[in-house]
Chains A and B, each alone.
Chain A
Amino acid sequence: MENNDIRQTKRIVIIGTNGTGKTTLVRRIVQNASQKTLIITPHDNEWNELDPNGVPLFPENELRCASDYNFTGVQKHIYDPDRTLKLIRNFTRGLIVFDDCRVYLDARTDKEVHRILISSRQNMIDEIFVAHGFTEVPPKVFTFATEYFLFRTEDNISRRKFYVKNYPLIEKMQDKVNKASAYNPHHFEHFVL
């Protein structure tokens, strides 16, 4: 029996070239998420906004032990190549944003990413993968993705043809977005697979 008040966990892919509005969109999603959120970013200088009292809107989380997950609201974590993916094994009941994931998710981290993806339902985690192009997202992510937000990108989806569920649909959507972006560079398409 379907219960409309409960949803499945989501694995969202947000693709778009520089300046199209990915981060703005993620910020909006995060601010409305109503769940604890961990933003993993390789960039020190991002997600540093202050509220009117000078308090960081996204305080930094060092992720050293289990008690670091007992936060509420939104926290950012600067990616650490040796530890981050191992540590987020213990993250449950929240949202993880992999901001600019091309910098740190590659073939070496494939196994760990796969593990995170397959256990997202059991751990009750939503995941958002943000990247500039399709080839900057680990192929495994496309296998598990449930939703897409596509902004303009020149990086063609055909290079991920064998991994993407419903490839023709995404190809068509990318084409549509790229055409529309001629009039509005921040145009995006949202679709659920």
Chain B
Amino acid sequence: MLTDKIQSIEDIEPDEIIQPQENENNYQFVDGFIDPDDSLSEFLEDFQKPKEETGATEQPNDDEIPDEDDSVTSEQAKYTASFIVDVVDEAMAHGLALYSLNPVDEHRAGKEQKKHLKKLWAQYCKEKVLEIPTGTQIIIAMASIYAVQIPKARQDRKANLKLERIREEQDRLYYDRKLLEFEKERLYSQRKAQEDGE
């Protein structure tokens, strides 16, 4: 058995020929380790030495361990609760603002109210093992951001179209008036020329 500490490439003979050794036919690896030269002893002796002390804590803080059993963790429950409350708050504020025509911010829940709601939702999520998959969260979040704006967009579109029609009407009236003024000026000049001729 060849077990050495080799520090560099020079330690190896380039043309070294490995010859069979007498006792190597008697290996017995499956049932027990045979190490005729006791070549591992140096390594094992070194391995038994104590390691350099770095102050690593032997008992890590339980908080650092991800608790990934089937139940919902406190952190997951808090996250789900926060997500639900924020989405509902956003949707409700927009819906109510649409109805009342007040600014959206006037219909949002207060900071303390939201905190209380989140706490209750977190408790509920933990008890009922309620966890919303990320894909569903993305869809809900996008819907809450954009869907609530659809009625407002429709209203804005109606208003903008009406405004456009009014502007067109204004323009038409302006040109009509200008035309009349021009006509009036022309008739006035015509009449003045006739009077001067007489």
CA distance A53 to B69 in the complex (A): 33
In the assembled complex, the CB of B52 is this many whole angstroms from the nearest CB of chain A, namely 5
A92 engages B58 (CB within 8 Å): yes
A165 within 8 A of B: no
- Give A128-161 as 1s and 0s: 1 = Cβ < 8 Å from B's Cβ atoms: 0000000000000000000100000000000000
Smallest CB gap from A185: residue in B: B27
Chain A residues with Cβ under 8 A from B61's Cβ?
Answer: 66
How many A residues face the partner with a CB closer than 8 A? 53
Contact B60 A90 (CB under 8 A): yes
Please tell me if B196 contacts chain A, counting CB pairs below 8 Å. Answer: no
Question: What per-residue 1/0 map shows which CB atoms of B1-37 lie under 8 Å from chain A?
Answer: 1111111110010001011110011010110010100
Say yes or no: A9-B51 contact (C-beta < 8 A), given A123-B56, A180-B18. yes
Contact of B69 among A64, A86, A180 (CB under 8 A): A64
CB of A18 closer than 8 Å to a CB of B:
no
Say if the beta carbon of A187 comes within 8 Å of chain B.
yes
Which of B3, B33, B58 meets A190, CB within 8 Å?
A: B3
Interface of chain B, main secondary structure: loop
Closest residue on chain B to residue A68 by CB atoms: B65
Residues of A within 8 A of B195 (CB): none
Closest to B4 in A: A191
Distance of A33 Cα from B47 Cα, bound (Å): 6
CB contacts (< 8 Å) of B8 on chain A: these are 166, 169
B interface residues, how many (CB within 8 angstroms)? 48
Q: Does A102 contact B (CB under 8 A)?
A: no
> Which of B39, B62, B69 is A66 in contact with, Cβ under 8 Å?
B62
**A92→B57 contact, CB < 8 A:** yes
Contact: A70 with B64, CB < 8 Å? no
**Contact A65 to B9, CB < 8 A, known contacts A32-B44, A180-B2, A190-B3:** no
Q: Does A112 contact B (CB under 8 A)?
A: no
Cβ of B100 within 8 Å of any chain A Cβ, yes or no, is no
Cβ of A10: which chain B residues have Cβ within 8 Å of it?
A: 47
Contact A27/B59 with A6-B51, A6-B52, A183-B18 known, Cβ cut-off 8 Å: no
Q: Which of A24, A147, A190 contacts B29 (CB 8 A)?
A: A24
B1 near A188 with CB under 8 A, answer: yes
Chain A residues near B2: list those with CB within 8 A. 176, 180, 187, 189
Given contacts A6-B49, A86-B66, A176-B12, contact A169 B6 (CB under 8 A): yes
In Å, the complex CA distance between A115 and B16 comes to: 40
Give B residues with C-beta under 8 Å from A: 1-9, 12, 16, 18-21, 24-25, 27, 29-30, 33, 35, 39-40, 43-44, 46-54, 56-62, 64-69
Which A residues are closer than 8 A to B by beta carbons?
5-10, 21, 24-25, 27-29, 32-34, 64-67, 69-70, 82-83, 86-87, 89-90, 92-93, 121-124, 126, 147, 166, 168-169, 172-173, 176, 179-180, 183-192
* 19 more A-B residue pairs beyond the given contacts A87-B65, A123-B54, A191-B4, with a C-beta to C-beta distance below 8 A: A7-B49, A66-B59, A86-B66, A87-B66, A89-B64, A93-B58, A124-B52, A169-B8, A169-B12, A172-B12, A176-B16, A179-B18, A183-B19, A184-B24, A184-B25, A188-B1, A189-B3, A192-B6, A192-B7
